[in-house]
């Protein structure tokens, strides 16, 4: 989801950030590497070592270590972007909002199994709505439809696979939406 968020910020709404065009691709690839590829490889490594029993992480206890590792990578990415003071602060602030959503998810995971997938898509929905509210030349219709369809498909698949109960799906979406709504609203206030 961070790649989709940064894709929206960097490419769909260019006026949302002051990043020069020639740097946007590099920032986008950094986000993909540090928030998708490296955490995914780390979690697969944990699975191969036997630390994580299944990549599906059906039990609450199976999710704690992978989520903590994800928090560490997201924190390091946020800190790296913060250290690049010559870049637009929106880059690290946006990553801090995403990190906050993941930290909330991780803290909840210590006691309950909330949907991580829905937390991410809820955050993406919030971003689309905040961008629509703050940037008049952003046309939100197609991104909004895309996120609605994506939300429905993810929620349906999580329920169909018995990976979550309905309340876990709703709570994940709501927590991601609320954290990102308030966070991204603060960024562009």
Q: Which residues contact 166 (CB under 8 A, 6 or more apart)?
A: 159
Give the model confidence (pLDDT) of 1-21 as tens digits. 899 999 999 999 989 999 988
What is the per-residue pLDDT for 144? 96
What is the per-residue pLDDT for 52? 78
Q: Rounded to an integer, what distance in angstroms lies between the CA atom of residue 84 and that of residue 42? A: 25
Q: Rounded to an integer, what distance in angstroms lies between the CA atom of residue 10 and that of residue 187? A: 15
The answer, yes or no, to whether residue 183 has pLDDT greater than 90, is yes
What percent of the chain has pLDDT above 90? 78
Compare 47 and 27 and report the one with higher pLDDT.
27
For the segment 121-134, the average pLDDT, to the nearest whole number, is 96
What is the per-residue pLDDT for 86? 84
Catalogue the E-assigned strands of the chain. none
Give the model confidence (pLDDT) of 77-106 as tens digits. 999 999 987 889 999 999 999 999 999 999
Residue-range domain boundaries for the chain: 2-187
Asked if residues 150 and 176 have their Cβ atoms less than 8 Å apart, the reply is no
The answer, yes or no, to whether residue 153 has pLDDT greater than 90, is yes
Name the average pLDDT for the chain. Answer: 93
Nearest-5° angle of CA 163, CA 166, CA 171? 100
Instruction: Kindly calculate the radius of gyration of the chain based on its CA atoms and give it in whole angstroms.
Output: 16
Bin 50: left if φ > 0, else alpha if -120 < ψ < 50, else beta: left
């Amino acid at each position: 989801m961070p790649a989709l968020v940064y894709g929206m910020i960097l490419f769909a709404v260019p006026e949302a950030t002051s990043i020069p065009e020639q740097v946007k691709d590099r920032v986008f690839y950094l986000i993909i590497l540090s928030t998708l590829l490296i955490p995914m490889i780390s979690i697969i490594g944990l699975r191969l070592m036997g630390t994580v029993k299944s990549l599906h992480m059906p039990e609450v206890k199976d999710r704690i270590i992978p989520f903590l590792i994800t928090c560490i990578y997201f924190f390091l990415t946020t800190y790296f972007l913060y250290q690049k003071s010559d870049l637009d602060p929106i880059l690290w602030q946006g990553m801090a909002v995403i990190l906050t959503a993941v930290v909330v998810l991780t803290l909840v995971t210590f006691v309950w199994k909330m949907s991580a997938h829905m937390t991410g898509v809820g955050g993406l929905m919030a971003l689309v709505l905040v961008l629509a509210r703050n940037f008049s030349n952003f046309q939100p219709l197609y991104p909004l439809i895309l996120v609605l369809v994506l939300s429905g498909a993810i929620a349906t698949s999580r329920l169909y696979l018995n990976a979550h109960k309905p309340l876990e799906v709703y709570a994940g979406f709501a927590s991601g939406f609320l954290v990102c709504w308030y966070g991204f609203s603060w960024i562009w206030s």
